[in-house]
Chains A and B, each alone.
Chain A
Amino acid sequence: MFADFDFDVIVRSLPYLFFHGMAFTLTLTALSLAGSLVLGTLIALMQLSSMRVLSLLAAGYVNLMRALPLVLIIFWFYFLLPWIGQWVTGASRPIQVGAFTSALITFTLFEAAYFAEIMRAGIQSIPKGQIAASQALGMTYWQTMGYVVLPQAFRAMIPLILTQTIILFQDTSLVYVLSIPDFLGAASKVAQRDGRLVEMYLFAAAVYFIISFAASTYVRRLQMRIAVVR
């Protein structure tokens, strides 16, 4: 059954698949990871804040994002951002932001909700005494968080953050619905152009599998190594 397979199509399109498609996928993953970690930490701090308005706002945001499918959110922002752009700049027409910007903003805002939950758990795992001790030393709220609580929270949550990053990496394939040539989009374009769906999709699956499996095996090792810190 593999007799009429044309594996040459994969070799021919390797530069396009990797320098174009995979580069896009990895850039999107890295940038939205950075953005959503910062935003997620801020949302976690809001949720733990003693100001009720802030914590309600943050909880509402997290719950809404987690209730909706990512595909729907991708569509939402794709159509919503031009209007917001128009509103902010006062232009007379909706401003086209481009598929990459819209995907980046979507993933940053969406993943921030998940990272917020991770960071909240991390912050809550720090003993209360440390905060009291920092306050006794005369540290401000931001000093306490920045020098004492958050570094430890990040360290404790590294395995979860990495696992969520693998999920983010896999989820970026959903930009396919905006017909962006990310790795899967590129593979699918070649597949449809050359009529080689079987080869291209199997290859794409293999690449995703190898990267995610290697990453998750590494996370498991890491988890075992840092498991007994306390």
Chain B
Amino acid sequence: MNYHWNWAIFWEPSPEGWGTYGDMLLSGLYWTLATSIAAWIMALVLGVIVGVLRTMPYRIPAAFAYAYVELFRNIPLLVQMFLWFFVMPELVPAEFGRWLKQMPNAPFYTAVISLGFFTSARVAEQVRAGVDALPRGQRMAGTALGLRLTQVYRYVLMPMVFRIILPPLTSEFLNCIKNSSVALTIGLMELTARARSMQEFSFQVFEAFTAATLLYVAINLVVTFGMRWLEKSVAVPGYIGSSRT
């Protein structure tokens, strides 16, 4: 191979006028984290609501939740981003649409919204699976104690559900971080986009992508270890995966 390796490239100034190529990647890392954490908060809130609605003994909310999950799950994330970014401003009243298009940081807000909705459908499915996994008796016991349905969910079911679905939620959070890279197509300068533009400016393809790869692996390790610790501290005694009995 006659490729010219140059690992010192990260300390050379970037053509953007501020900082080095290394700083450029770090700002990408910042946007990746900001996008995925904001989208994750949105996905958790929406996902828990929709997931709970799907397990409720009422027909209409359950049908709504079903439609919600299927809608956001069956359209590729990239297409959803295009819908929010290009299509939505055209469908709302013209004045509002213009304001949306001129908003500073529009790619960031769009990415958070589309990633948030997309991920919330998956979270909803996990919440539903978690509720379904609980023994029927818990719901009955709650009702027998005279709790209202909201109280049964609030005090009996959900505390168990959250602890049960923590492992799948971890991998969904990691997916959320990875999926934020799709937002480079609408101009969000997150980590992958930064690696790509570094490659375009400097022609140091492999150094740029190696650095991005290592950063993603590092995020993964941090999240995995953090969640493992959280999992251990909230484990339900007597269930599989709990060291306490």
Chain B minimum-CB-distance residue to A64: B217
| A31 CB-CB contact with B under 8 Å | no
Question: A202 contacts which chain B residues (CB < 8 A)?
Answer: 83, 87
Residues 137-166 of A, flagged 1 when their CB comes within 8 A of B and 0 if not, give 000000000000000000000000000000
Q: Which of chain A's residues have a CB closer than 8 A to the CB of B205?
A: 79-80
Q: Which chain B residues border A227 with CB–CB below 8 Å?
A: none
A79 to B200 alpha-carbon distance, docked (Å): 11
B216 is an interface residue with CB less than 8 A from chain A = yes
Determine if A197 and B87 form an interchain contact, defined as CB atoms under 8 angstroms apart. yes
A1-B91, A205-B79, A205-B80 given; A68·B213 CB < 8 A = yes
Q: Answer whether A201 and B79 are a contact pair too, CB < 8 Å, given A75-B209, A76-B209, A79-B199.
A: yes
Minimum Cβ distance to chain B for residue A215 (Å): 9
Complex CA distance for A157 and B184, rounded to whole angstroms: 34
Residues of chain A with a CB closer than 8 A to B87's CB: 197-198, 201-202
Chain B nearest CB: distance from A79 CB in Å?
4
Q: A69-B216, A171-B76 are in contact. Are A209 and B71 (CB under 8 A)?
A: yes
Interface string of A161-188 (1 = CB under 8 A from B): 0000000001101101100000010001
Say yes or no: is A51 at the interface (Cβ < 8 Å to chain B): no
A208 sits at the interface (CB 8 A): yes
Residues of B within 8 A of A7 (CB): none
Within 8 A of B (CB), among A68-99: 68-72, 75-76, 79-80, 83, 86-87
A201, B82: Cβ atoms under 8 Å? yes
Indicate if the CB atoms of A67 and B209 lie closer than 8 Å.
Answer: no
| B75 lies within 8 A of chain A by Cβ | yes
Near A by CB (< 8 A), chain B positions 147-187 give: 174, 177-182, 184-185
In the complex, whether A204 has a CB less than 8 A from a CB of chain B is: yes
Query: Are A184 and B70 in contact, CB atoms less than 8 angstroms apart?
Result: no
The answer to whether residues A170 and B76 also contact, given A79-B205, A87-B1, A201-B87 and a CB cut-off of 8 A, is: yes
Question: Does A212 sit within 8 A of B, measured CB to CB?
Answer: yes
Contacts of B220 in A (CB 8 A): 67
Tell whether, in the assembled complex, residue B209 and residue A72 are in contact, meaning their CB atoms are under 8 Å apart. Answer: yes
Contact residues of B: prevailing secondary structure: helix
Q: Does B54 count as interface, using CB distance less than 8 angstroms?
A: no
Q: How far is the CA of A201 from the CA of B185 in the complex (A)?
A: 14
B80-95, CB under 8 A of A: which get 1 and which 0? 1011001100110000
Q: For the complex, what is the distance from the CA of A68 to the CA of B32, rounded to whole Å?
A: 13
Task: Please measure, in the bound complex, the distance between the C-alpha atom of A67 and the C-alpha atom of B192, giving whole angstroms.
Answer: 13
- The reply to whether A69 and B179 form a contact with Cβ atoms under 8 Å apart is yes
| Chain A residues near B74 (CB-CB < 8 A) | 170, 208-209, 212-213, 216
The CA-CA distance from A69 to B180 in the complex, in Å, is 8
Residues of B within 8 A of A1 (CB): 91
Interface hub of B86, B181, B220 (most chain A Cβ within 10 A): B181
> Considering the chains assembled together, what is the distance between the CA atoms of A71 and B74 in angstroms?
19
A173–B83 Cα distance when bound, in Å, is 14
Bound-complex Cα distance A71 to B83 (A): 19
In whole angstroms, what is the CA distance A184 to B180 when docked? 19
- The CA of A86 and the CA of B3, in the complex, are separated in Å by 11
Contacts of B80 in A (CB 8 A): 205
Contact of B78 among A66, A83, A184 (CB under 8 A): A184
Given contacts A198-B86, A208-B75, contact A79 B209 (CB under 8 A): yes
Q: Which residues of A contact B1 (CB under 8 A)?
A: 83, 86-87
Residues in B whose Cβ lies below 8 Å from that of A75? 192, 195-196, 199, 209
What chain B residues lie within 8 Å of A209 (beta carbons)?
A: 71, 74-75
Whether, in the assembled complex, B212 has its beta carbon less than 8 Å from a beta carbon of chain A, the answer is yes
Q: In the complex, are the beta carbons of A177 and B195 less than 8 A apart?
A: no
Q: Is the CB of A198 within 8 A of B90?
A: yes
Give the distance in Å from the alpha carbon of A170 to the alpha carbon of B86 in the complex. 19
**B-side contacts of A205, CB under 8 Å:** 75, 79-80, 83
Contacts A72-B195, A212-B73 known; 5 new A-B pairs at CB < 8 A = A69-B182, A171-B76, A197-B90, A208-B74, A209-B74
Q: Can you list 7 A-B pairs with a CB-CB distance of less than 8 A?
A: A69-B181, A72-B195, A75-B209, A76-B209, A87-B1, A202-B87, A216-B70
